[in-house]
Amino acid sequence: MVESNSADLMDKIVSLCKRRGFIFQSSEIYGGINGFWDYGPLGVELRKNIRDCWWNDMVRRRDDVVGLESSIIMHPKVWEASGHVGGFTDPMVDCKVSKQRFRADQIFFSAVVVDGKIVGYVTVLESERIAEELQEKAETFKRKKAIQGKLEPVQPRDFSEAKPEEIPLIPSPATGEPGSLTPPRAFNMMFETYVGPLRDESAVAYLRPETAQGMFVDYKAILDTGRVKIPFGIAQVGKSFRNEITPRNFIFRSREFEQMEMEYFIADDDDWAKWHRYWIDWCREWLVSVGIPASALSEYNHPKEKLAFYSKGTTDLMFKYPFGVQELWGIAARGDYDLTQHAKASGQPMEYFDDAKKKRYVPHVIEPAVGVDRILLAILCSAYCEDQAPDEKGKMETRVVLKLHPRIAPIKVAVFPLLKNKPELVKKAQEVRDLLRPYMTVFYDEASAIGRRYRRQDEVGTPFGVTIDFDTLGEKGPELADTVTLRERDTMKQERVKISDLLGILLPRVR
């Protein structure tokens, strides 16, 4: 089997997504809009299955987590109190010549040092091979300028670490020439809008850049319903918006995306590190349960000196995407910062009276925050596979197969009559389709040769195929009547099963 893990894996996934109706560029007929994506018929199903799995495991199957759907536009004071108005910024750099914009921490540069002397600078954009690419560029630079002497190894730094006197000497990633990059400046990533008919300062509101603030703002209301006791969590799934400077890597970094976040409130004197660990492990196991191999996941602990002052610790679960190891899920221990901020700004107390401990305190919080789109991309990257399978004439050909976990596959089973011009086969196949449909997503397909129909389903990750043939009709003897071929996607193994047994066989395997 050829596992496709090469650099062109991303291209193959993007093209499969478009061809088969998973993901399209938004507003494509108008040339597209950068950082926005549409989910087509199969993409919607996949996304919904991811969301539903998360919701079932995170909320419905637990006693200590409840759900919330707060509004996307909230009172602007929410974002002042949370620190987003003042500090939700990325360092932005402009190239004055090309008019392109970059995030400072995504531009990497190094001095080119020959015999201990700086002879120039080289630049690359963030990638998996920053040091190697800079080294190659430094060698080319030295050769082109015909500089003699010993080239020292490059020392990569990102542009936010550039000294003011270095900035004019660092080449722009757009033009390759120095002199056009501006010093980094803070760019607030919140989208602004106006609420009501007036378009003045007093009407400014924001599209939420995270769902988490909804949980903090409604914490009191949920507490007052009397349903919850510390420790407990509030979970929410919903759209978030960030005016990212450089949206990229397909759906990995977009300007409109969906988050699944949960705020877990614990006692002020509870062992936060224990809960932090608990949620990191929970998230990791959950990812594995939807088909992401544990071997593709790793943990990154944010260094203490880079944490916000209130944060006790943040660990990111990282996934090995084709474009590098990147953050998939952030699990942050946020102390009592958010509730305290909202208590101060709103004048509403956020304390919890702990019956068991007979004391009042502002709870501390552990926050696992993840993007649906990043999970979806990680799932597609994990599932994409190419192997060899025989075509109709027995000739081996490359088969593209999405080895999606049956739990999240958009279509669970495809039902095929062997021939479409035999009414008895079609009728029987439609009966099988109708038998399964109330319990799972079924795709009925009677067009083209059976091998082709299998391939089409392999490519979109359908784990099972059921074929109705002449044996089903009892033409080869009564013992095979009302049996069908059940084909398994990954092994391509086929077995003969009774129609009356189908549901019992399939249901436990797709749930």
Taking the complex as a whole, the smallest distance from the CB of residue 353 to ligand ATP amounts, in Å, to 31
Taking the complex as a whole, the smallest distance from the CB of residue 84 to ligand ATP amounts, in Å, to 10
Q: Given candidates 46, 112, 266, 370, which one binds ligand ATP under the rule CB under 6 A? A: 370
Taking the complex as a whole, the smallest distance from the CB of residue 1 to ligand ATP amounts, in Å, to 30
Return all residues near 170 (Cβ < 8 A) that are at least 6 apart. Answer: 107, 109, 121, 123, 159, 162, 178, 181
Q: Is 208 in the site for ligand ATP (CB under 6 A)?
A: no
The residues pairing with 409 across neighbouring beta strands, listed in sequence order, are: none
Is 294 within 8 Å of 411 (Cβ atoms)?
A: no
Q: Is 106 in the site for ligand ATP (CB under 6 A)?
A: no
Question: Which range touches ligand ATP (CB under 6 A), out of 61-69, 132-140, 254-262, 349-357?
Answer: 254-262
Helix, strand and coil in the chain, % to nearest 5: 35, 30, 35
- Closer to ligand ATP by Cβ: residue 134 or 331: 331
Cα angle: 316, vertex 318, 323; to 5 degrees: 135
Q: Which residue is nearest to ligand ATP (CB)?
A: 371
Q: Is 105 in the site for ligand ATP (CB under 6 A)?
A: no
Kindly identify the residues of this chain, within the stretch 219-248, that bind ligand ATP according to CB under 6 A: 242, 244
- Pattern 180-199, ligand ATP, x by CB under 6 A: --------------------
> Which helix (DSSP H) or strand (DSSP E) does residue 505 occupy?
helix 499-510
Q: Given candidates 43, 173, 184, 371, which one binds ligand ATP under the rule CB under 6 A? A: 371
Q: Is 257 in the site for ligand ATP (CB under 6 A)?
A: yes
The residues pairing with 129 across neighbouring beta strands, listed in sequence order, are: none
- Closer to ligand ATP by Cβ: residue 45 or 210: 210
Question: Which range touches ligand ATP (CB under 6 A), out of 221-229, 250-258, 388-396, 473-481?
Answer: 250-258
Cα distance between residue 193 and residue 186, in whole Å: 20
Q: Is 463 in the site for ligand ATP (CB under 6 A)?
A: no
Q: Given candidates 373, 445, 469, 471, which one binds ligand ATP under the rule CB under 6 A? A: 373
- Closer to ligand ATP by Cβ: residue 110 or 254: 254
Cα distance between residue 228 and residue 382, in whole Å: 38
Return all residues near 359 (Cβ < 8 A) that are at least 6 apart. Answer: 353
My answer on whether omega of the bond before 231 falls inside 30° of 0, hence cis, is yes
Taking the complex as a whole, the smallest distance from the CB of residue 63 to ligand ATP amounts, in Å, to 26
Taking the complex as a whole, the smallest distance from the CB of residue 312 to ligand ATP amounts, in Å, to 15
Question: Which range touches ligand ATP (CB under 6 A), out of 119-127, 180-188, 324-332, 390-398?
Answer: 324-332
Taking the complex as a whole, the smallest distance from the CB of residue 328 to ligand ATP amounts, in Å, to 6
Q: How many CA atoms lie within 13 A of 315 on its CB side?
A: 16
Using CB under 6 A as the binding criterion, the count of chain residues that bind ligand ATP stands at 16
Q: Is 327 in the site for ligand ATP (CB under 6 A)?
A: yes
Q: 357 by DSSP, 3-state: which?
A: coil
Question: Which range touches ligand ATP (CB under 6 A), out of 132-140, 278-286, 370-378, 397-405?
Answer: 370-378
- Closer to ligand ATP by Cβ: residue 374 or 433: 374
Based on DSSP, count helices (H) and strands (E) in the chain, helices before strands.
Answer: 13, 26
Q: Is 254 in the site for ligand ATP (CB under 6 A)?
A: yes
Tokens standing for residue 19: 């061809």
Q: What is the dihedral of CA 41, 43, 47, 53, to 10 degrees?
A: 80
Cα distance between residue 461 and residue 384, in whole Å: 9
Q: Amino acid letter at 259? A: Q
Q: Given candidates 172, 180, 259, 441, which one binds ligand ATP under the rule CB under 6 A? A: 259
Tokens standing for residue 358: 């007979």
Alpha helices by DSSP H, listed for 27-162, are 41-55, 76-81, 84-87, 130-144
Cα distance between residue 320 and residue 475, in whole Å: 52
Question: Which range touches ligand ATP (CB under 6 A), out of 54-62, 91-99, 367-375, 395-403?
Answer: 367-375
List contacts with ligand ATP (CB under 6 A).
210, 242, 244, 253-254, 257, 259, 327-330, 369-371, 373-374
